[in-house]
Structure 1
Amino acid sequence: MKTPNFFALVGLFFTLCLLQPTTAAPYESQQLDNAAPNYVVIGAFAKQSNALRFTNHAKRDVKLDARFEMNKRRNLYYVYVLSTHDLPIAIEEAKRLRVESEFTDTWVYVGSFADLTSAGHDIVIVPNRPEISSSQPQASNGIATANATDSYVAPADATPQDASGSSVNSAAPASTEINTSETAATTPPIEEASTAFVDDGTEGTKFFFKITRQADQKKLQGDVDIIDVDRTRKMGSYKGNTVVKVASPASKSGNMSIICDVFGYRKSQRDLSYSDPESGGDIIRDSNGAVVVPFELTRLKKGDIAIMYNVYFFKDASVMRPESRFEVNSLLDMLNENPKYKIRLHGHTNGNAAGKIISMGKESDAFFALSDTKEGFGSAKQLSEERASIIRDYLVKNGIPASRMEIKAWGGKKPIHDKMSPRAAENVRVEVEILED
């Protein structure tokens, strides 16, 4: 009698499977707000200090333009690497990071972090996972075969949870020293960030790094790096023009160097004492007790050279990755502001080995996606030339005369680090030299 019952159960199981969809609902069918920002998220944390450490790891070790912000709907700090109004670009970048980086649980959040009156959705890439439930989104690491419609939109009130029902975050390597009391998640759960300060109870002093343009006092988007002078080590990176909490360097003198380096502007540095910051001249405390440290930045001048730290290229390609868009547009703004500017774009690679070169198609205008490309073979110098040229071509397409720009290709002749160094990725870069201002 047991055998017939067994086969009956197996038959019922396969019948139920056939009735289930083979993929999650396409994100295009979810009627998401096209005007809402889309964030490519690599982690979520209950503690601000853990979000900061994770952000610093992503910036320092993985070379991503990572930031974090409190998602008030989830009551978690979301660490994200791209903000765009183009949802397909966000989806593609999330899929790329899941395959090509350690952040294999990357997802997309659609909506404002601060505005609770509008809808908010977590989009999790879930290829061929019909068992995903709307109450607890999860993700598979097998994203390599997924297509753009393999996604799942979590409801607005969904919160990422572990098996015990506790709120969680994406895990980072042990070297980031993240508090292990926060459990690692499989998955969940620039637009201008909110300036509201959310105190999570961590130790430290409130700071407001006021970053403005000297010419007109316009606020600038950027970060500052804080260096512990006594130990000559970086304490962390902090977002400008918003209140943040900075922990004490716990050194004998308490002296700190604060460095503000916004692309298109001259680097600025201020030194102060953590215990007595107001002794630094124009440094004051505002009505909420935050230490206000002003940075008035000036544009680059003739002879200056700036590295485009936040412009990245696809592997073996002269095509920019989506997160490069902000910095390239910053260069565009600089050239539009001053029609007298003439620049030289210097292209560099890591090493001088020849190899495959993936380039944009002849009629393509996909500067930030591998959607229309051609494949060839060439030298490292040729690759570095094409990478500098793609930035020039983008600027030309957006109204900058080609006569204002020159190209210089170096290949791997001028590395910043040894080509086998853990930081060798920094050798792959484009530099902007100001020829006339």
Structure 2
Amino acid sequence: MNSAILSAGLLLGASLITSDIKAQSGDDPYYVVIGAFSSSDNAAKRISSSRQYNLSGVAELNPVRQLHYVYVLKTEDRSKAMTEAKRIREATRFTDTWVYTGLLGDTPTMVEKTTEPVTGEPAQEVKPEPVVVEPPKPVAVTRSFVFAIMDSETERQVTGEVHVTNAANKSKIGTYRGNQPFSFTYADDPGTWSIVCDVTGYRKWEKVVPAGSAVANSSGQLVIPVDLVRMREGDLSVAQIFFFKDATVMLPDSKLAALELLEWMRDHPTARIRIHGHTNGNDKGTIISMKKGSMDYFSVDNTEAGKGSAKTLSQKRAETLKNYLVSQGIDTKRIEIKAWGGDKPLFDILSNEAAANVRVEIEIIGE
């Protein structure tokens, strides 16, 4: 009697913990599964990480649960599958490894069961690894944006650039020409932009704009308006115009700023300006000037070297900008010049910011 009870206990201890809904057909293989994932990408990652334990993972879809099962052994031998599952749980980080029997990649004949190797001890359920259902990854979107730079009084388009940074982390997004569409790629939300537009002849425009609030025009472009206010009599601004070292010739990068000033004077035909020239310090030195009759305002190819004071250099640089404007049809009587040399530095001439002392300023002296 006692012997019969003992035998029954051993048989019960060796039995399987199962969640079967259908009867096993007897032909279904056993899979040693190390993970189940809703994402095929995550299944691929699990296969990759299994290689460090010399395991060869394979991913197949369980069509009932719609999960990608990653298994490392497929066998008809139940005992072999249970032994391998136990070994993997003890020897690797895949401590939730379990045995699945049924079909993968096709219509299964039964649902999943979990099991422990037969050891003569009471069986304990092995719970499969929790399945993390990740939210779908944001889909990248490319939209066309345009900065509509306009004169707020005349409502005419203004030539210029805008400088855009991410308002959240201060990272640079880019520099874009006004009134010209550009493509921008983002996921979910383009973010909040910090925008600066500094056009010669206008007051500096700065604004923080949620880019997603831009309104589409008839062409589907997302428009961000930049309404500039023209400078008034007495206003003074630093023009983004720069010169070659020791030269009265403008750098090619200054063409846009020179064009901005030219267009502003054309749009405001009664306005008069004074161009202020500044240098860093008052030392005498080499002055590289345009040859007489040269119209090449942005190249040192047709120049000659001489000597002169810092004030002379600042005078000649202001004259170069004036001559450029006059060559483009602006009346010379509308432009005055003031040379300061190094008398009005913005920073100490030996400081790291000293380069900013070399500048051209535009003052409105009449409207």
Q: TM-score range by the shorter chain?
A: 0.5 to 0.7
1:212-227 equivalences in 2 (<5 Å): 212-227=150-165
Residues 243 and 359 (structure 1), Cα distance of their counterparts in 2 relative to 1, 3 Å cut: closer
Match of 1:115 in 2: none
The more displaced of 349-358 and 317-326 is: 317-326
Cα contact 1:243–1:290 (8 A) shared by 2:
no
Equivalent residue in structure 2 for 1:297, among 203, 208, 228 = 228
Deviations 1:219-238 (A, max 9, x none): 33322223444555654433
Equivalent residue in structure 2 for 1:211, among 144, 149, 156 = 149
Deviation at 1:343, TM superposition (A): 0.8
Deviation at 1:406, TM superposition (A): 1.8
| Structure number with bigger Rg | 2
Match of 2:270 in 1: 340
Deviation at 1:435, TM superposition (A): 0.7
- The DSSP-based 3-state class of the residue aligned with 1:325 is helix
Gaps of 5+ in 2: 1-138
Q: Name the CA distance, whole Å, in 1 between partners of 2:143 and 2:345.
A: 39
Q: Which amino acid aligns with 1:292?
A: V
Q: Name the CA distance, whole Å, in 2 between partners of 1:381 and 1:273.
A: 46
Equivalent residue in structure 1 for 2:216, among 279, 285, 292 = 285
Q: Name the CA distance, whole Å, in 2 between partners of 1:363 and 1:237.
A: 36
Residues 326 and 235 (structure 1), Cα distance of their counterparts in 2 relative to 1, 3 Å cut: closer
Q: Name the CA distance, whole Å, in 1 between partners of 2:260 and 2:222.
A: 28
Deviations 1:251-307 (A, max 9, x none): 9xx654322222222322332335xx42xxxx4234676542111223322122232
Q: Name the CA distance, whole Å, in 2 between partners of 1:404 and 1:347.
A: 17
Deviation at 1:420, TM superposition (A): 4.8
Q: Which amino acid aligns with 1:265?
A: Y
1:245-264 equivalences in 2 (<5 Å): 245=184, 255-264=192-201
Residues 369 and 291 (structure 1), Cα distance of their counterparts in 2 relative to 1, 3 Å cut: closer
- The DSSP-based 3-state class of the residue aligned with 1:410 is strand
- Is 1:267 aligned to residue 197 of structure 2? no
Identity %: 41
Q: Name the CA distance, whole Å, in 2 between partners of 1:389 and 1:265.
A: 22
Q: Name the CA distance, whole Å, in 2 between partners of 1:235 and 1:375.
A: 41
Cα contact 2:202–2:228 (8 A) shared by 1:
yes
Q: Name the CA distance, whole Å, in 1 between partners of 2:146 and 2:314.
A: 39
Q: Tell me the number of residue pairs that the alignment of Structure 1 and Structure 2 aligns.
A: 228
RMSD in angstroms over aligned alpha carbons?
3.3
Match of 2:366 in 1: 436
Gaps of 5+ in 1: 1-200
Cα contact 2:160–2:260 (8 A) shared by 1:
no
Equivalent residue in structure 1 for 2:285, among 355, 359, 378 = 355
Q: Which amino acid aligns with 2:300?
A: L
Deviation at 1:401, TM superposition (A): 3.2
Report the TM-score, using the length of structure 2 for normalisation.
0.53
Match of 2:316 in 1: 386
Match of 2:43 in 1: none
- Is 1:321 aligned to residue 258 of structure 2? no
